Amino acid sequence: MYEIYLLDLDNTLLDFDAAEINSFHTLLRSYEIPYEEELFTQYKKINKNFWSLLEQGKVDKDTLRIGRFKEFFGSIQMSVDAEEAEMRFQSYLSDGAEMMPHAKETLVRLKESGKKIYSASNGVYETQVKRLQTAGLYHFFEDMFVSEKIGFEKPDRNFFDYCFEHIRDFDPSKTIMVGDSLTSDIQGALNSGIDSCLYAPNGGSQMAKATHTITDLNELLSL
């Protein structure tokens, strides 16, 4: 049915959670700060709030990237250059190439079936490209649609309009957005009038807003 696949990257193809905690460990170590789980929990809370504001259009990406570390280090009473901390974090993060289960096998089979595969990610362009290259997945993609380059974040309709304008022989009826986020991936698909697939590896109830819900990436092959 579907010929064009817009695939989210973080926690859809690439295990962002694993990359994030490893990068956070390394970041703290670079500042000679002993790792404690409470510190990561605090960072995650701050980071999640900034991402929520970004998706609502209330802050821009630079504010998110630097603001989260300014607020985090401020919360532990440390004077750290937030911009430098962000640069270090992105460098560590770009090495995180752990994949979600069956990610590569699914891409191989989609490609063998003649499907067109595009990334559709809210992230830092160079970081996302390097992670895909390290994971050996980059060559599966026709093009990379990353918010930093586009200038809009999912679920903004403008993000998806840009993607559609840059897909050859685009047909909305044959296009699907696949991702793990209801607020960016699924809502973005709704905003732009294409079908969606919620990837929920830990299970959960069927979400009415998503056209499909899967718990394993290889289920994409039967849609």
In 140-172, which positions are buried (b, 16+ CB within 10 angstroms) versus exposed (e)? bbbebbbbbebebbbbbeebbebbbeebeeeee
Task: Name beta bridge partners: 99.
Answer: 14
d(CA 41, CA 173): 41
Of 198, 199, 184, the residue nearest 15 (C-alpha): 199
Q: Is there a catalytic annotation at residue 180?
A: no
Of 117, 112, 146, the residue nearest 10 (C-alpha): 146
Active-site residue (options: 8, 10, 15, 185)? 8
Task: Name beta bridge partners: 118.
Answer: 6, 143
User: Which residues form the catalytic set?
Assistant: 8
